[in-house]
A = this chain, B = another copy of it.
Amino acid sequence: MHAMNISLMAAVAMAATSLPTLADYVVKEVGSFHVGGRTAALSGMPTRDVVFSPGAPAIKVDPNGEFAVEQMYVQCVKLAQPKAKVPILFWHGGGLTGVTWETKPDGRPGWQHFFLEAGYDVYVSDAVERGRASWARYPEIFKSEPMFRTRKEAWELFRIGPSYEIGGARVAFEGQQFPIEAFDQFAKQGVPRWVTNDAATQTAYDALVDKVCPCILVVHSQGGNFGFNAALTAPDKIKALVAIEPSGAPDPTKVDIGKLKGVPHLIVWGDLRDKVAVWQRLPIAPIKFGEAIVAAGGKADVFDLPVMGIKGNTHMLMMDRNSDEVARLIHDWILKQGLVN
């Protein structure tokens, strides 16, 4: 019996040293996949002479053939023992990729990490045309030219500051929360965007919901509209929808808004919206959409952060200095929806 005790105690001690610390988590799988998309075929285009290595003879390249287009990329981290009853999906905004949710530009862990630690299985995706989703030849397959966001546009549109001069002064808003010393690092996360891929993107998002949900959606900016539409298409599969500064929403008079009665919504707004003209206009449709959900008997809570005393948040509030404070508010709201054990 004494020997038994010692071996038991040894087992406990061993178990203790190999147990994760509070900050670690036990992962079942880090995985990825592409979802959605279609086959596009090109024919009749001329061959092109391409020099692959400087000095080497040109090789004829035939651009005709079949291509995989309009798929999206999804990466998941699944926990051995998730506490959340359903996974959480993070959808990025325009001109960006899933990197939005990963490590912040200043090196602090991102919301992907925050929600893993909080016990959620986390899916982070790159929408059609961006990042690991890939993109297709234009104008033959994608129907317009891509646009490249300048640093100045990011600085001003994302409400970091009122002015950005090329090679010169960057003026930030007083009290704003973006870690501006990491702004150039953030700019590396930008990807080109098209204005003609919305339908394909929605189709791919709907395919993702169909594949991995029931789930919680957290959507940002341009992702807001895709999220609202995905919930209208599959309301039984979206257990909660958190829209971070959505830049658009469907017209509630043109959709069956009653379908969203059972989908709790939370819309989160940062600060400094009165400082940038476009931010007077962009929230109008999402606010109207949320009000229509409530009028239809559903739930659409609003966290207007400065009204709640949380000041200085930019459009990229998942990267702001106080971003984990905001993440905690969202996690608490999800807890109240009964979605975490």
Instruction: Encode A20-56 as 1/0 by CB contact (under 8 A) with B.
Output: 1101111111111110010101010000101111000
- Interface flag for A313 (CB, 8 Å): no
- Interface flag for A334 (CB, 8 Å): no
Instruction: Encode A257-300 as 1/0 by CB contact (under 8 A) with B.
Output: 00000000000000000000000000000000000000000000
User: With contacts A11-B12, A27-B26, A134-B191 known, is A73 near B61, CB below 8 A?
Assistant: no
Cα separation A15 to B12 with both chains bound (whole Å): 7
Name the contact of A135 in the complex, choosing from B167, B185, B192 (C-beta under 8 A): B192
The tally of residues in A whose CB lies under 8 Å from a CB in B reads 83
- Interface flag for A116 (CB, 8 Å): yes
- Point out which of A28, A110, A148, A187 has the most chain B C-beta atoms below 10 A from its C-beta: A148
Min CB distance A199 to B, Å, is 10
B102 touches A31 (CB 8 A): yes
Interface of chain A, main secondary structure: mixed
- Interface flag for A163 (CB, 8 Å): no
For A185, what are the chain B residues with a Cβ–Cβ distance below 8 Å? 33-34
Min CB distance A305 to B, Å, is 26
Cα separation A81 to B132 with both chains bound (whole Å): 30
Cα separation A98 to B75 with both chains bound (whole Å): 12
Among A62-70, A83-91, A230-238, A317-325, the stretch that binds chain B is A62-70
Min CB distance A20 to B, Å, is 5
A132 touches B131 (CB 8 A): yes
- Point out which of A28, A63, A134, A167 has the most chain B C-beta atoms below 10 A from its C-beta: A134
Cα separation A192 to B132 with both chains bound (whole Å): 11
- Interface flag for A18 (CB, 8 Å): yes
Min CB distance A21 to B, Å, is 7
Min CB distance A144 to B, Å, is 8
User: With contacts A30-B77, A188-B34 known, is A16 near B18, CB below 8 A?
Assistant: no
Name the contact of A148 in the complex, choosing from B8, B26, B137, B167 (C-beta under 8 A): B137
- Interface flag for A109 (CB, 8 Å): yes
Which residues of A are interface residues toward B (Cβ below 8 A)? Answer: 4-5, 8-9, 11-12, 15-16, 18-21, 23-34, 37, 39, 41, 43, 48, 50-53, 61-68, 71, 73, 75, 77, 80-81, 97-99, 102-103, 107, 109-110, 112-113, 116, 126, 131-132, 134-137, 145, 147-148, 150-153, 166-167, 184-185, 187-192, 195
- Which 4 pairs from chain A and chain B are nearest by CB? A65-B150, A15-B15, A34-B188, A68-B187
Sample of 7 further A-B pairs with CB below 8 A, known A24-B27, A131-B132: A18-B26, A24-B28, A50-B195, A98-B132, A132-B132, A132-B189, A135-B192
